């Protein structure tokens, strides 16, 4: 899930706010996520300090369980940054090459050898989105695995020659767990647990690659009933991962952000590669790196990703030039987490008056 319009207000020239932006952010969030409705866990990290970790609203409407910093949410497409990290770890270890044809690692891949791992990571493969191709029931979706995705592509035409355009497609990242498994000899869930989550102390974070899900402190997801706006349960679980299905907490995401700030797990130059725009045809660039959207304005740089799935909306926004990170994990399918992130960012760095 990507919304390109998020960035404009988040990269404005910094100014100094008169009042405490943390207090202002807390007040804003309490108004945005009322205490008796589905809400969000929010974390703000500024210049290396965790200035806010707070839950707003309810994790479950029936039990009236409040959201806390330890409530677990489906990260949806924010999961893609963990998938790209797994691939890049294997690249650094010499087990993979970014220019490997996908068919080398996914033998039943039907699209030939022109599409590479780099194309998958940067959404420049031209592969159609499997979610749009899939026509089965929710029960059938719950049995669909990453290993089934290649078969779904048989008979489907590429949308464009690989490397010539950017088009966001969950298929790209749903194929990468198969690559990680074949290159590492571990399941995708085991690989991320052993080489990312455990080393970083992300004790509540895991890949859900099988149903039913067993997630401690999981927030129940809610949609909004058409017209009346009533919240109703919304959940569509399935074992496909890579494009989503990492469950985490705001507290664990603070640990993840610290690793990114300190350039841990990967070499600094590898992180920079992940946070660099992708060249495409005719000298143009897409704003997508490896699992991150990359934005630059007035000499300032940010990397971010949002996510949305049944009953969840998520955002991580990292303003690199000012070391400000905003993380929003919501169990309200209708929550505008992009606007929340923008509004919080503006409290710390208001736009200059013209």
Give the pLDDT score at 254. Answer: 98
Which residue, chain included where needed, has tokens 């050898």? Answer: 113
CA dist., res. 93 & res. 241, Å (int): 23
Positions marked active-site: 77
CA dist., res. 102 & res. 119, Å (int): 9
Bigger pLDDT: 50 vs 108? 50
Give the pLDDT score at 138. Answer: 83
Q: With a cut of 60, say whether residue 17 has pLDDT above it.
A: no
Using alpha carbons, select from 221, 247, 272, 318 the residue that is nearest to residue 79: 247
143, 150 contact by CB (below 8 A): no
Q: For the residues 100-127, what does the mean pLDDT come to?
A: 95
Using alpha carbons, select from 17, 20, 25, 6 the residue that is nearest to residue 349: 17
pLDDT in tens, 187-235: 999 999 999 999 999 999 999 998 888 899 999 999 987 666 688 888 8
Using alpha carbons, select from 324, 320, 271 the residue that is nearest to residue 299: 320
7, 297 contact by CB (below 8 A): yes
pLDDT in tens, 267-318: 999 999 999 999 998 889 999 999 999 999 877 899 999 999 999 999 999 9
Give the pLDDT score at 14. Answer: 40
Q: For the residues 151-172, what does the mean pLDDT come to?
A: 94
User: Exposure pattern of 93-115 as b/e (b: 16+ CB <10 Å)?
Assistant: eebbebebbbbbbbeebebeeeb
Give the pLDDT score at 353. Answer: 61
**Mean pLDDT, all residues of the chain:** 92
Q: With a cut of 80, say whether residue 13 has pLDDT above it.
A: no
CA dist., res. 251 & res. 50, Å (int): 10
Q: For the residues 249-263, what does the mean pLDDT come to?
A: 98
Q: Indicate the domain borders of the chain.
A: 4-348
4-348 adopts what CATH topology? Answer: Beta-lactamase (3.40.710)
- Helix (H, G, I), strand (E, B), or coil: what is residue 181? helix
Bigger pLDDT: 297 vs 118? 118
pLDDT in tens, 305-329: 999 999 999 999 999 989 999 999 9
Split at pLDDT 50, 70, 90, the class of 9 is: very low
Percent of the chain with pLDDT over 70: 93
Split at pLDDT 50, 70, 90, the class of 2 is: low
Split at pLDDT 50, 70, 90, the class of 10 is: very low
* Main-chain phi, psi angles of 295, to 5 degrees: -130, 135
Record the pTM: 0.93
């Amino acid at each position: 899930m990507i919304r390109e319009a998020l960035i404009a207000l988040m990269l404005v020239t910094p100014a100094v706010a008169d009042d405490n932006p943390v207090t202002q952010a807390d007040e804003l969030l309490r108004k945005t996520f009322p205490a008796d409705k589905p809400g969000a866990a929010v974390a703000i990290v500024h210049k290396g300090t965790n200035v806010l970790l707070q839950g707003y609203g309810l994790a479950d409407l029936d039990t009236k369980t409040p959201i806390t910093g330890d409530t677990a949410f489906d990260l949806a497409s924010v999961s893609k940054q963990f998938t790209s990290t797994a691939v890049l770890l294997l690249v650094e270890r010499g087990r993979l090459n970014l220019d490997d044809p996908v068919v080398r690692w996914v033998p039943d891949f039907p699209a030939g050898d022109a599409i590479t791992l780099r194309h998958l990571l940067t959404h420049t493969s031209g592969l159609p989105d499997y979610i749009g191709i899939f026509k089965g029931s929710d029960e059938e979706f719950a049995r669909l695995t990453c290993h089934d995705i290649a078969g779904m592509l048989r008979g489907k035409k590429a949308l464009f020659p690989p490397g010539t355009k950017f088009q966001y497609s969950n298929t790209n990242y749903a194929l990468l767990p198969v690559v990680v498994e074949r290159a590492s000899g571990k399941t995708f869930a085991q690989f991320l647990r052993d080489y990312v989550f455990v080393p970083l102390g992300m004790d509540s974070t895991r890949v859900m690659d099988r149903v039913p899900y067993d997630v401690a402190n999981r927030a129940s997801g809610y949609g909004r009933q058409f017209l009346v706006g009533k919240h109703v349960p919304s959940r569509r679980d399935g074992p496909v991962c890579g494009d989503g299905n990492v469950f985490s907490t705001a507290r664990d995401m603070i640990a993840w952000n610290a690793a990114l700030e300190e350039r841990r797990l990967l070499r600094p130059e590898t992180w920079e590669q992940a946070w660099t725009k992708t060249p495409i045809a005719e000298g143009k660039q897409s704003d997508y790196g490896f699992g991150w959207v990359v934005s630059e304005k007035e000499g300032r740089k940010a990397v971010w990703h949002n996510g949305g799935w049944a009953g969840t909306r998520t955002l991580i926004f990292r303003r690199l030039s000012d070391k400000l990170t905003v993380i929003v994990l919501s169990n309200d399918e209708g929550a505008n987490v992009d606007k929340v992130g923008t509004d919080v960012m503006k409290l710390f760095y208001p736009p200059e008056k013209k």
